[in-house]
Amino acid sequence: MTSSSTVAPRSRKVRVLATLGPASSDAEMIARLFQAGADAFRINMSHGDQQSKVAVVQAIRGLERRFGRPSTILADLQGPKLRVGRFAEGRVMLETGATFVLDRSPEPGDATRVELPHREIFAAIEPGARLLLDDGKLVLRVQEHDADRIVTRVEVGGALSNNKGLNVPDVVIPMAALTEKDRSDLAWAVEQGVDWIALSFVQRPEDLMEARGLIKGKAALLAKIEKPAAIERLEEIVEQCDGVMVARGDLGVELPPEQVPPLQKRIVEVSRRMGRPVVVATQMLESMIQSPSPTRAEVSDVATAIYDGADAIMLSAESAAGAWPTESVTMMDAIGCAVERDPGHGDRVHFTVTKPDPTTADALAEAAKQIARTVSASAIVCFTTSGSTARRVARERPAVPVMVLTPKLETARRLGLLWGTTSVHTRDVESFEEMVAKAKRMALRHGIAGAGDQIIVMAGVPFRTPGSTNVLHVVRITGNELSNYAK
């Protein structure tokens, strides 16, 4: 990977994921966001067409040539969108306490009824279940139903207009997580070589199977936890995916707002314990869509996610469509750096206990964290092909930087969402001696260690064998090596 101006590794361990959109889709703005602190970029497939996003992908990949760092792209699929039909007058007022019917008739609706063009809901709904309209602003309670009609009582009324969204929080809808649009977008994303694909509307672990089959290992799969049904089978879902997103926006619609913070902590804890990167998303710096500075409450919210040990914190409309995209990324970076400078940060991150699995690789990852602390090492350097060694080490949340050396560019790119890691795409090594020499050289080149520092080196022998981590070696960088590097 060549570069015109290599950028030093981030000192911050939590990653910043920035959504791109109308305010941030040209190459120069994307470069500015990267320089401001964005570690990875989200492309929202809900908006725009595929062709318009090709240039965005190319601009992100262009960062690699310009700055000498692997770039990370997440394509976020839209998922099924449940909506009511249209009204004869375009808009009606639903009175609290009134009866309102959702049916299969395509006739324009009125204040008593409207079409619901989703057959699956009629099959799954139960008396007593809630139906939430327009992002939860209106609440209906199901009284009775059959194959063609759902009779409800309006519990919270208000204005309702054409094609407003519908949420069904109390039952599992027998609906595939992938729509035809999603399948097309997924195929496009794989063709473009994106690194992560985020799946919406996940209710069950089975929902991940079709997407994984279509991806065929060419990208990592991230499950968005946004449905109450997903919480009930959280560990099974986390087991089936490569990463997790706490999608607080939809969770906050389908659940009482006060339930979202403890669920966020639970999702982060489960994901960390099971060794999956976890992203906390939605409305983190919402006021910065219009304001150049956030509220103190928003800063505290972001800080809480960092103290909990989330791998990444995400900007949505703030960087995609707001008036202050660069400032939003800069603020995320500043909050991350400030929290991680807190002397109590390390203790708080380790409130979550991550017990190693009974494998050599997990035992060495845990040992690396402890040895780094005992001998005051400056960094942990991992040689990996698949990225599994890096994920194991990052799960332990060591106090020192983790440098990942990999011969696979795809692996280096995917690790852009992983806590505390700096990935370097480089040729593989052939021998133990070459491994040690390269680890020292790369630590010096990227500024994570200097003369006299000790580093911990992890790898698998025989080399070029994925999943064979069985070596942990502590080495010291000497003045001679520094002199040789400078020549």
Which positions are catalytic? 42, 83, 224, 282
Q: 46-73: buried (b, 16+ CB within 10 Å) or exposed (e) per residue?
A: eeeeeeebeebbebbeebbebbbbbbbb
| Axis crossing angle, helix 27-36 with helix 325-341, rounded to the nearest 10 | 20
For residue 379, the SS3 value is strand
C-alpha angle with apex 154: 151 to 159, nearest 5 degrees?
Answer: 115
Distance CA 171, CA 129 (A): 7
CA dist., res. 353 & res. 194, Å (int): 32
Quote helix, strand, coil % in the chain, to nearest 5.
40, 25, 40
Which residue(s) pair with 457 in the sheet? 381, 473
Name the helix (H) or strand (E) containing 471.
Answer: strand 469-476
CA distance 487 to 468: 35
Packed helices 432-445 and 479-486: angle between N→C axes, nearest 10 degrees: 70
Phi and psi dihedrals of 159, rounded to 5?
-80, 140
- Scan for tokens 């669920």, then name that residue: 263
Q: How many whole angstroms separate alpha carbon 178 and alpha carbon 203?
A: 12
Instruction: Tell me the one-letter amino acid at 217.
Output: G
β-strands 130-133, 138-145: how paired? antiparallel
CA-CA-CA-CA torsion sign (179, 185, 188, 192): negative
Burial environment of residue 217 by CB neighbours within 10 A (0 to 12, 13 to 18, 19 or more): exposed
As given in the structure block, the two tokens for residue 458 are: 């992890």
**Pairing between strand 138-145 and 149-156?**
antiparallel
Whether omega before 462 lies within 30 degrees of 0, making that bond cis, reads yes
